[in-house]
A and B are shown apart, each in its own frame.
Chain A
Amino acid sequence: MSNEVESVQVSDVTEVNQLSSSTAVESHAGSCDDEMPLQLLNEAVRSMPNHVVKALLSIGVCSRCVLRIFGTEDRIYCHPLLSQSMLRSILEEVAGFKSEGNFQICSICLGILQFCYCDDKETMVKMESPNDMALIIAQLVKKEGHQIDGFSLEVSVPQLILENESSLLSGMKMRYESEPWFQERLLSKCVSVKDVLKFAITKPLETLLDVKSSTAGCFRIRLTYTHKRASDNSVERNQGFKRRKIGKENGLHNVNDEPVITNKVCSDYSTDETICVTGRSSNLLQDQEPSEQLTVPIDKVSEPCQLVYLCYRTHIYLCGRYLKFSRNVSQTRWIIDEERMGEASVEEIIGSNILPMCQGDNYKFHAAGREDIDVRMLGSGRPFLLEIQNARQVPSEETVNEIESKINGLENKLVGVKNLKVVGSQGWTLMREGEAEKQKQYCALVWISRPLEDEDVQSISLVNDMKILQKTPIRVLHRRSPLEREKIIHWMKIERIAGSSQYFLLHLCTQAGTYIKEFVHGDLGRTQPSIGSILGCRAEILRLDVTDVKMDSF
């Protein structure tokens, strides 16, 4: 195989990675700690059946895969002091196997456990120890400026690996089922590639980042391995067995040196030197009799996987209540035909002031209900939730208070904020819970076509949980279903305005979803009853303000 292997030695790692000799002799004098891993490894290797190890090595399984398949205790092979070459030489020595010398990508783990991969610049990278990978991750975290107090590691590997592994285990079962060690050592003990990698990287990462790892971390570090061949061929595999022949016939030799005729499969991505171990698909396997050879239908690959490192923080949430003092500010960004409606939006004012303090990528604004652009939101304010994506730092209570003061102190005084604070993901449940109560309080400036009488004030104040029927208002009929909705007016109160007999303030508390404007002017009679019909005259609404959104949890 003509692999170009570029060994990238990350030389900043101070504590480890000094053992790169190919002999099995420890090169460190003295301390117990250094000797232990080597000793344990030797013991582990000797406990494995030699002929099997030899067979596995010969079909291109890497040292760590060999060890993990047997479920070696303590995953000693992940120890940072035990380099690739050391593992290899120990295995080879014990099993009596001579490798060809060139580095080969493992046929099972596709190089993942050999810490070999292609980075985003398409360069092949090969590391001696998991510490090197941990270092790259740590540098990425620092570069992004993340401030964290924990992390959770996620690894994603190509499906091909699982298929290969499953083929290998089936093959081994078929071949070695009868042997005494089989029941004890195999099948149940095999450790997955993901687990091994995570285990290997977590400890050094914890040290470098000076925090602990956990499964429920808010800060995610994701390693995504993909393989061109894997994504290409997985479709074919699912479609079943396919035979294709190319010009050359490469007879392959198995462990016992007997030629096995293969069905060759060629992919556009493989180089000429690709050697197919055997033909494909499990159908072939079933047709074979248990024989002397270990035949496993996997393809060797010439390139390692591509690895993408990604680290991000899961969403953080800020909740609070907002007030809207302007009649020309929409709740969310509202743009029609490239023109903005209103002079600003609550969403943008709040979001743009909070996002930089969290150093996040993006924000999403969610509110418990909404009001029209020309309706002010006063009183206790409307509950909202601001979702910040990939915040580099979580703002402290002090910072949050500063943000609140800043927004409230803006010169144009369009929007105000109350009770701003950071919440966990339970913020969502709080919003939903509060909505169940759903009562809103309003104050409307109403004009009627005749002077207001005391009886009017009286009859309005007597209203208690009055049901009204509202046909979908004409102003929203273009985008909502034409329905008749029953709503409840809980109470109403008229407040006279000094100096006017036909204008007055109407305070009312209604069920959420009630169209207040239509309740006042009647919407051409499509809302029954309406203020106009109750008072027996024409009623118009000039201004509307929301004075209370009842939600205890916020």
Chain B
Amino acid sequence: MSDTMVDQTHKPEETAVPNNLQQHHKQDEEQSVRENADCEDEELHKLLVPDITLLPLTPPSSVESNFASYFAPDFMKSGNDQYVYRHANGLCVVGLASTHSAFKDNGGVSAVDFNVGKSDRSGMKVTGKRKKNAQHFESNTALCKVCTNNDSYIVRCCVKGSLLEVNERLIKQPELLKSSADREGYIAIIIPKPADWLKAKASLLSLEDFKKLRALC
């Protein structure tokens, strides 16, 4: 793929008839302007089209590309496997790992309730660049309750920090949790202080280690 922008000017053809020379020139000029524009478009297009042979069959997902994945197996309770995706800017997305007990139930997730602990987590409003009104939570603070047909599970923060937002869509669409727990089914976004993150990280597993632990492929 060439990266050069080449402006090709087509020279107007010399005609043998002097009377029509000017007119021809003008037409040629207009034509060359059009051709110029076409040329530029062509050049641009060349830059845009990728070389298919260099592309992977399945590219990394946006989560894989932008976040570092960590896992907390059996967090405070056996079977409570949660993930923490940490972005380079320090924000942490918290959710249920695919090995969570809630997914072992038949029938899937019936409800997600954010009204746990002392307040309804879905009710808080964080505003501004400084993230005013964000509640400070400990790693074991409850975020929400996930209900299946047979059981209910408490989801925890796993990381000490300020709660920026919860995934309200889960209230109306709890099935999102089962269908894509690692994307649209995320639970909440938390921002820890740098020191708190280092502490939390120490007790989390990398993707590799987690896979080994759970004997995943």
Nearest A residue to B88, CB-CB = A475
A409 to chain B, nearest CB (A): 11
The answer to whether A542 and B55 have CB atoms under 8 Å apart is yes
Partner pick for A497 among B47, B50, B183, CB 8 A cutoff:
B50
The answer to whether B165 and A497 have CB atoms under 8 Å apart is no
The answer to whether A477 and B61 have CB atoms under 8 Å apart is no
Nearest B residue to A445, CB-CB = B50
B59 to chain A, nearest CB (A): 5
Complex CA–CA separation, A416 to B165 (angstroms): 42
A527 to chain B, nearest CB (A): 11
The answer to whether B90 and A478 have CB atoms under 8 Å apart is yes
Nearest B residue to A444, CB-CB = B48
Most chain A C-beta atoms within 10 Å of own C-beta, residue among B55, B66, B90, B126: B55
Binary per-residue interface labels of chain A (302-325) against chain B in the complex, 1 for a CB within 8 Å, 0 otherwise: 000000000000000000000101
The answer to whether B3 and A413 have CB atoms under 8 Å apart is yes
What residues of A have a CB within 8 angstroms of the CB of B55 in the complex?
500, 503, 542
Partner pick for B50 among A479, A482, A523, A543, CB 8 A cutoff:
A543
Asked if A265 is at the interface (CB within 8 A of a chain B CB), the reply is no
Nearest B residue to A539, CB-CB = B62
What residues of A have a CB within 8 angstroms of the CB of B34 in the complex?
none
The answer to whether A477 and B91 have CB atoms under 8 Å apart is yes
Complex CA–CA separation, A477 to B66 (angstroms): 14
The answer to whether A478 and B191 have CB atoms under 8 Å apart is yes
Asked if B49 is at the interface (CB within 8 A of a chain A CB), the reply is yes
The answer to whether A447 and B59 have CB atoms under 8 Å apart is yes
Asked if A525 is at the interface (CB within 8 A of a chain B CB), the reply is yes
What residues of A have a CB within 8 angstroms of the CB of B90 in the complex?
478
What residues of B have a CB within 8 angstroms of the CB of A543 in the complex?
50
What residues of B have a CB within 8 angstroms of the CB of A503 in the complex?
50, 52, 55
Nearest B residue to A548, CB-CB = B44
B49 to chain A, nearest CB (A): 7
The answer to whether B44 and A378 have CB atoms under 8 Å apart is yes
Nearest B residue to A498, CB-CB = B52
Complex CA–CA separation, A325 to B44 (angstroms): 11
Asked if B116 is at the interface (CB within 8 A of a chain A CB), the reply is no
Asked if A521 is at the interface (CB within 8 A of a chain B CB), the reply is yes
The answer to whether B89 and A478 have CB atoms under 8 Å apart is yes
Complex CA–CA separation, A245 to B27 (angstroms): 94
What residues of B have a CB within 8 angstroms of the CB of A413 in the complex?
3-4
Q: With A413-B4, A475-B66, A481-B129 in contact, do A524 and B183 touch (Cβ < 8 Å)?
A: yes
The answer to whether B3 and A474 have CB atoms under 8 Å apart is no
Complex CA–CA separation, A376 to B60 (angstroms): 21
What residues of B have a CB within 8 angstroms of the CB of A394 in the complex?
none
Binary per-residue interface labels of chain A (371-407) against chain B in the complex, 1 for a CB within 8 Å, 0 otherwise: 0000010110000000000000000000000000000
Partner pick for B59 among A479, A542, A545, A547, CB 8 A cutoff:
A542
What residues of B have a CB within 8 angstroms of the CB of A523 in the complex?
62
Complex CA–CA separation, A517 to B66 (angstroms): 12
What residues of B have a CB within 8 angstroms of the CB of A499 in the complex?
52
Asked if B169 is at the interface (CB within 8 A of a chain A CB), the reply is yes
The answer to whether A521 and B62 have CB atoms under 8 Å apart is yes
Q: How many residues of B contact A (CB 8 A)?
A: 37
The answer to whether A325 and B59 have CB atoms under 8 Å apart is no
Complex CA–CA separation, A521 to B48 (angstroms): 20
Q: With A482-B127, A482-B131 in contact, do A378 and B47 touch (Cβ < 8 Å)?
A: yes
Asked if B184 is at the interface (CB within 8 A of a chain A CB), the reply is yes
What residues of B have a CB within 8 angstroms of the CB of A482 in the complex?
126-127, 131, 164-165
Please report the number of residue pairs spanning A and B whose Cβ atoms sit closer than 8 angstroms.
Answer: 88
Asked if B10 is at the interface (CB within 8 A of a chain A CB), the reply is no
Binary per-residue interface labels of chain A (509-544) against chain B in the complex, 1 for a CB within 8 Å, 0 otherwise: 000000001000111110000000000001011110
Complex CA–CA separation, A413 to B66 (angstroms): 28
Binary per-residue interface labels of chain B (118-150) against chain A in the complex, 1 for a CB within 8 Å, 0 otherwise: 000000001111010000000000000000000
Complex CA–CA separation, A475 to B186 (angstroms): 16
Q: Which of A429-447 contact B (CB under 8 A)?
A: 443, 445, 447
B105 to chain A, nearest CB (A): 23
Complex CA–CA separation, A447 to B61 (angstroms): 10
Asked if A505 is at the interface (CB within 8 A of a chain B CB), the reply is yes
B76 to chain A, nearest CB (A): 24
Asked if B5 is at the interface (CB within 8 A of a chain A CB), the reply is yes
A445 to chain B, nearest CB (A): 6
Asked if B93 is at the interface (CB within 8 A of a chain A CB), the reply is yes
A406 to chain B, nearest CB (A): 15
A536 to chain B, nearest CB (A): 12
The answer to whether B44 and A538 have CB atoms under 8 Å apart is no
Most chain B C-beta atoms within 10 Å of own C-beta, residue among A413, A474, A477, A523: A474
B3 to chain A, nearest CB (A): 5
Nearest B residue to A518, CB-CB = B62
The answer to whether B61 and A475 have CB atoms under 8 Å apart is no
The answer to whether B44 and A480 have CB atoms under 8 Å apart is no
Q: With A323-B5, A474-B87, A474-B93 in contact, do A538 and B61 touch (Cβ < 8 Å)?
A: yes
Nearest B residue to A517, CB-CB = B62
Q: Which of A211-234 contact B (CB under 8 A)?
A: none
Complex CA–CA separation, A547 to B48 (angstroms): 9
Q: Which of A133-149 contact B (CB under 8 A)?
A: none
The answer to whether A522 and B47 have CB atoms under 8 Å apart is no
Q: Which of A458-480 contact B (CB under 8 A)?
A: 471, 474-480
Nearest A residue to B176, CB-CB = A525
Binary per-residue interface labels of chain B (155-170) against chain A in the complex, 1 for a CB within 8 Å, 0 otherwise: 0000000001101010
The answer to whether B50 and A540 have CB atoms under 8 Å apart is no
What residues of B have a CB within 8 angstroms of the CB of A545 in the complex?
47-48
Nearest A residue to B3, CB-CB = A325
What residues of B have a CB within 8 angstroms of the CB of A416 in the complex?
5
Partner pick for B128 among A476, A481, A524, A541, CB 8 A cutoff:
A481
The answer to whether A443 and B48 have CB atoms under 8 Å apart is yes
The answer to whether B184 and A524 have CB atoms under 8 Å apart is yes
What residues of A have a CB within 8 angstroms of the CB of B49 in the complex?
497, 505
What residues of B have a CB within 8 angstroms of the CB of A500 in the complex?
52, 55
Asked if B189 is at the interface (CB within 8 A of a chain A CB), the reply is yes
B9 to chain A, nearest CB (A): 15
Nearest B residue to A476, CB-CB = B89
3 pairs of A and B residues whose beta carbons are closest in the complex:
A525-B184, A521-B62, A478-B89
**Residues of A in contact with B (beta carbons under 8 Å apart):** 323, 325, 376, 378-379, 413, 416, 443, 445, 447, 471, 474-482, 497-500, 503, 505, 517, 521-525, 538, 540-543, 545, 547
Q: What are 12 A-B pairs at a CB distance below 8 A?
A: A323-B5, A376-B47, A445-B50, A447-B59, A475-B89, A477-B164, A479-B129, A524-B183, A540-B60, A542-B50, A542-B55, A547-B48
